[in-house]
Chain A
Amino acid sequence: MGALQSSPGQHEYGDLAEKTGFSFRQIGVLHTRFKQLSHNEETLQRDHFNEIPDLACNPIRAQIVGAFFDRRNFRENGEGTVQEIGFEEFLVVMSHFRPPSLHMTQEQRESVRREKLRFLFNMHDTDNDGTITLEEYRHLVEELLSLSETLEKNTAKSIADAAMLEVASISMGHMEPDEFYEGITFEHFLKLLNGFEIESRMNIRFLRMDTTTLCK
């Protein structure tokens, strides 16, 4: 993508830039990548993602790919999944990984934080019911451990259980023996990862992407 001034869709870029916060240059680079992934079609499908070789060795690739097709991440308050996405949705999902700008008020920082944590939450909450149940958490831990050859399912279960117990203890404090902890709601999730500083960790450097070094 050479000089952006001559590109036909620049007025579109203006909308996109406003919506997602990327700069024109970054949008241009991402558009090139989009076209490369989708083989110059208009939309991306899941199979296109599965063609990326480096992604194949990622233990949570299914969830990452799923996040792109999850309507909850499109910032339109939608729900459910779609089968294919256009460039705009691609960009919106990517915008979750933008670093916060230097001069931000406390509220802006807080909203950025919530947004990123919401993205993570959506990735964990696969059945879309608003809570992360024990099963979903177990699934998460198993995925994380799925790369190791000696997959010890039971250790994965115990780790997930211990983690869940921790969440419950932090969020609920005191529970009667008969009460049942349904699952991690978004508020509990926020409370859990309070010290996690996600606004500074969940970022990709979009700045320094160069079209010539795009990997396949």
Chain B
Amino acid sequence: MAVLGPNRRSSNPRFTGLICGFLLVFVVFIFAASASRDAVAGNNETLRNDSHHQTNSTAHKKAFPVLSFNYDHVRKPFEISLWILLALLMKLGFHIIPTVSNVVPESCLLIFVGLLVGGFIKAIGEEAPILDSKLFFLYLLPPIILDAGYFLPIRAFTENMGTILVFAVVGTLWNAFFIGGTMYGVCQIRGAELASVDLLSCLLFGSIISAVDPVAVLAVFEEIHINELLHILVFGESLLNDAVTVVLYHLFEEFSHAGTVTVVDALLGVVCFFVVSLGGILVGAIYGLLGAFTSRFTSHTRVIEPLFVFLYSYMAYLSAEVFHLSGIMSLIACGVMMRPYVEANISHKSYTTVKYFLKMWSSVSETLIFIFLGVSTVAGPHAWNWTFVISTVILCLVSRVLGVLGLTYIINKFRIVKLTPKDQFIVAYGGLRGAIAFSLGFLLTNSKMKYMFLTAIITVIFFTVYVQGMTIRPLVELLAVKRKKENKGSINEEIHTQFLDHLLTGIECICGHYGHHHWKDKLNRFNKTYVKKWLIAGERSTEPQLISFYNKMEMKQAMMLVESGNAAKLPTIVSSVSMQNIQPRGPARRRAIPSISKSREEEIRKILRGNLQKTRQRLRSYSRHDLFIDPFEDNVSEVRFRRQRVEMERRMSHYLTVPANRQETTPVRKVCFEPEHQVYTYDDSESPRGPTVQPNPIPPDAVSLLSESPQRPNQSGAQRAKVPDEQEEQDQLKLSRCLSDPGPNKEEEGDGSFRS
């Protein structure tokens, strides 16, 4: 039996042995099943025929089959599921062995596994599945691109757009022509048996191999965490060069049949490039706007919100592919266009769903792609030609380095933040080739040349993924390239980012210069006055960005507190600074309660309720279309929450700007919810000893959560005549405040409680 690689020697031999066993069983099963498929089908047929005859001729001689085997019925989905399961188990396995996954990037390991699986399949005499181009382009690639496009860092992308475009377009063109031309020269060398390869075929080959692959770049760069600028440069280039690749590929493929190229054709090619790229972006933008518009109306059917995001994006991709436009650019444009509006409209849960589904699908796709690459390597017919392959590899490297160096020299004249040689090296070194090149090569018409091309492409892919992929991490550390800085979501940085934007726009106005900031500002204003009104539901459409950022941050902190419990380390600063340290000492000022919009309140309430509430809730009637809280879950964590509550109160004053009372404890007004939508508010100044409850059946919308009241010892004494266990129950129903609130000063003893 094929042993799965020497790198499985680990500290946990039994477990890995188990995994190996599983995998082998699966693999054997797939192919035993498919091998025996024909036999079984045949058997079934004859069985049925026999029984038919028998029932026709005589009566019931055949017993009723209690257990029958009909694999044919489920063959296709079964095999697909087994493949995916294999891929995921491999992924699991790698992360259990930490030593290997630190040195070798995951993509390498996956290709290696694919090689083994392919070898195994060939050994048992079956025909291995190849990375079918249709499968790749229609099913495996879109999730990865959508994931990348939806979470694209817009600010970094637009700031470096010029650089990225130059690298993508000019760089890829240079690569294609340089490699194609030089290969033609190489092919002319006598003795290399390559005379049959003409110029157009070489150029076609060059265009296939020249493009940097987003899948490979993502797979490798994800693990090395370099700074945002370099990441977006290489990654952006890999996304945007799709248009160039598409055009060049179709151009040269057409011409290699026709045989000659005229100037008109070349001009048409240039026009085609603009049509392909701009058309792709347009298609994507239209679908993105449609998606955003649809999400405006989904407030009553939250469950299907994520599906809109996925489907509109996929439709954008497919529609672009119909017209041979650039599907990748369409997908990116759709995601980018849709995201700000959709995120303002959909619920928090849907946002989480979108995020996790995208990550899940793209992860599975990536794994499958690499495994299939390995399998296809073993499976496909190869035509190895030393000269061709070696010169391809060398030329790829050389042209990439030359291209990056030359282009950076030109680009640096226009950039404010110049690219240092270190940056240039990483950009050049990060030009990995991947499965897109392979699939494009696979689409070529069958000929001996095709197999030679495929062999060369696979060799280049292997070289870039293995050699460059494995060495880039130590090189990054060696060169001390700046790494990604932790994003703490500081409100100060957000304030200053906005401030700086306005400041620079203002200075540009004073200078009289229509610059970058001027146009950005105009776009923002257009967005705010017209677009947002149409695409964002309700009051969120007028919410300034600073406020939405702030709300998001507060919500995140609230969620963290709720979910983290006692032992968690909260990433923000641990300090004992609280609001009272900041408030200027002075005469007591009555603070008005900050009012947030009601729908935000609702949303925040729902989230916190979902996490804290003990469910005495009557289950609503079961419906597949509703989300409801699982009662079992809540009961189990009830005890934990009791403990957590005390902890949380202690931490509240540190993180959520609750003013510390100059007296002993923090008076925090907490609001709790009965599921029947009654609102109870009470003081909880002496937390363990029990709250005072003032039942207050006001409809939830009318009460702001965020009111604060000082200790009122007189009242609390009077109202302590509550039954203890009722208090206990209501303890659990407490909901902590989730938005900061300066709150009233302690000196307002006798005032009434604040409710707005």
Q: Is A170 an interface position by the 8 A CB rule?
A: yes
Task: Supply 29 A–B pairs (Cβ within 8 Å), ascending by A.
Answer: A49-B510, A55-B510, A58-B509, A60-B499, A60-B502, A64-B506, A123-B503, A141-B546, A144-B544, A148-B547, A152-B595, A155-B595, A157-B594, A161-B579, A161-B657, A161-B740, A161-B742, A165-B578, A165-B582, A166-B573, A169-B575, A172-B575, A174-B575, A175-B575, A177-B660, A198-B500, A202-B500, A205-B513, A215-B509
Q: Which one, A30, A134, A201, contacts B511 given CB within 8 A?
A: A30
Q: Which one, A68, A152, A206, contacts B594 given CB within 8 A?
A: A152
Could you list 12 further interchain pairs (A-B, Cβ under 8 angstroms) beyond the known A152-B596, A196-B493, A200-B417?
A58-B506, A134-B583, A144-B495, A144-B502, A148-B543, A157-B742, A158-B739, A168-B581, A174-B576, A203-B416, A204-B504, A204-B508
Q: Which one, A68, A134, A144, A174, contacts B584 given CB within 8 A?
A: A134
Q: Is A1 an interface position by the 8 A CB rule?
A: no
Which residues in window 468-503 of B have CB below 8 A to A? 485, 490-493, 495-496, 498-500, 502-503
Q: Is A82 an interface position by the 8 A CB rule?
A: no
On whether the beta carbons of A154 and B593 are closer than 8 Å, the reply is: yes
From B514-522, B614-622, B689-697, the one touching the partner chain is: B514-522
Q: Is A85 an interface position by the 8 A CB rule?
A: no
Q: How large is the interface on B (under 10, 10 to 19, 20 to 34, 35 or more residues)?
A: 35 or more
Q: Is B512 an interface position by the 8 A CB rule?
A: yes
Per CB-CB distance, the 3 closest pairs between chain A and chain B, nearest first, are A154-B594, A214-B512, A64-B506
From A4-12, A13-21, A73-81, A94-102, the one touching the partner chain is: A94-102
Q: Is the interface of A mostly helix, strand, loop or mixed?
A: helix
On whether the beta carbons of A168 and B544 are closer than 8 Å, the reply is: no
Q: Which one, A58, A149, A176, A206, contacts B505 given CB within 8 A?
A: A58
Known pairs A94-B507, A172-B575, A202-B504; A193 contacts B496 (CB<8 A): yes
Q: Which one, B506, B513, B539, B577, contacts A168 given CB within 8 A?
A: B577
On whether the beta carbons of A144 and B498 are closer than 8 Å, the reply is: yes
A30 to B510, CA, bound (A): 10
Q: Is A190 an interface position by the 8 A CB rule?
A: no
Q: Is B349 an interface position by the 8 A CB rule?
A: no
Q: Is A192 an interface position by the 8 A CB rule?
A: yes
Contacts of A59 in B (CB 8 A): 502
Contacts of B579 in A (CB 8 A): 161, 165
Contacts of A177 in B (CB 8 A): 576, 578, 580-581, 660, 662
* Contacts from B to A (Cβ < 8 Å): 412, 416-418, 485, 490-493, 495-496, 498-500, 502-518, 525, 539, 542-544, 546-547, 550, 554, 572-573, 575-585, 592-596, 657, 660, 662, 739-742
- CB of A75 to closest CB in B, whole Å: 17
A215 to B490, CA, bound (A): 36
Residue of A52, A58, A148, A162 ringed by the most chain B CB atoms within 10 A = A162
Contacts of A180 in B (CB 8 A): 581-582, 584-585
On whether the beta carbons of A33 and B512 are closer than 8 Å, the reply is: yes
- CB of B622 to closest CB in A, whole Å: 40
On whether the beta carbons of B514 and A201 are closer than 8 Å, the reply is: no
Known pairs A202-B504, A213-B514; A159 contacts B546 (CB<8 A): yes
Q: Is A105 an interface position by the 8 A CB rule?
A: no
On whether the beta carbons of B575 and A57 are closer than 8 Å, the reply is: no
A163 to B742, CA, bound (A): 12
A200 to B482, CA, bound (A): 15
Q: Is A54 an interface position by the 8 A CB rule?
A: yes
A202 to B507, CA, bound (A): 11
On whether the beta carbons of A169 and B496 are closer than 8 Å, the reply is: no
Q: How large is the interface on A (under 10, 10 to 19, 20 to 34, 35 or more residues)?
A: 35 or more
A173 to B577, CA, bound (A): 7
A75 to B509, CA, bound (A): 23
Contacts of B509 in A (CB 8 A): 52, 54-55, 58, 215
- CB of A207 to closest CB in B, whole Å: 9
Contacts of B583 in A (CB 8 A): 134
- CB of B550 to closest CB in A, whole Å: 5
Contacts of B576 in A (CB 8 A): 174-177
A1 to B92, CA, bound (A): 68
On whether the beta carbons of A162 and B740 are closer than 8 Å, the reply is: yes
Contacts of B515 in A (CB 8 A): 204-205
Contacts of A172 in B (CB 8 A): 575, 577, 581
- CB of A198 to closest CB in B, whole Å: 8
A202 to B499, CA, bound (A): 11
On whether the beta carbons of B510 and A163 are closer than 8 Å, the reply is: no
Known pairs A57-B525, A145-B546, A147-B544; A155 contacts B596 (CB<8 A): yes
Q: Is A108 an interface position by the 8 A CB rule?
A: no
Closest residue of chain B to A98, judged by CB? B416
Contacts of B595 in A (CB 8 A): 152, 154-155
Q: Is A23 an interface position by the 8 A CB rule?
A: no
On whether the beta carbons of A154 and B592 are closer than 8 Å, the reply is: yes
Contacts of A58 in B (CB 8 A): 502, 505-506, 509
On whether the beta carbons of B573 and A206 are closer than 8 Å, the reply is: no
A80 to B511, CA, bound (A): 24
Q: Which one, B493, B544, B547, contacts A195 given CB within 8 A?
A: B493
- CB of B82 to closest CB in A, whole Å: 47
Closest residue of chain A to B739, judged by CB? A158
Contacts of B657 in A (CB 8 A): 158, 161-162, 165
On whether the beta carbons of A145 and B547 are closer than 8 Å, the reply is: yes
Q: Which one, B507, B550, B578, B585, contacts A204 given CB within 8 A?
A: B507
Q: Is A36 an interface position by the 8 A CB rule?
A: yes
Q: Is A106 an interface position by the 8 A CB rule?
A: no
Known pairs A154-B593, A165-B579; A141 contacts B511 (CB<8 A): no
On whether the beta carbons of A209 and B547 are closer than 8 Å, the reply is: no
On whether the beta carbons of B500 and A201 are closer than 8 Å, the reply is: yes
Q: Which one, B412, B502, B594, B662, contacts A158 given CB within 8 A?
A: B594
On whether the beta carbons of B511 and A181 are closer than 8 Å, the reply is: no
Closest residue of chain A to B504, judged by CB? A204
Which residues in window 44-60 of A have CB below 8 A to B? 49, 52, 54-55, 57-60
Closest residue of chain A to B553, judged by CB? A162
Residue of A58, A133, A159, A177 ringed by the most chain B CB atoms within 10 A = A159
On whether the beta carbons of A200 and B742 are closer than 8 Å, the reply is: no
A205 to B415, CA, bound (A): 9
- CB of B256 to closest CB in A, whole Å: 43
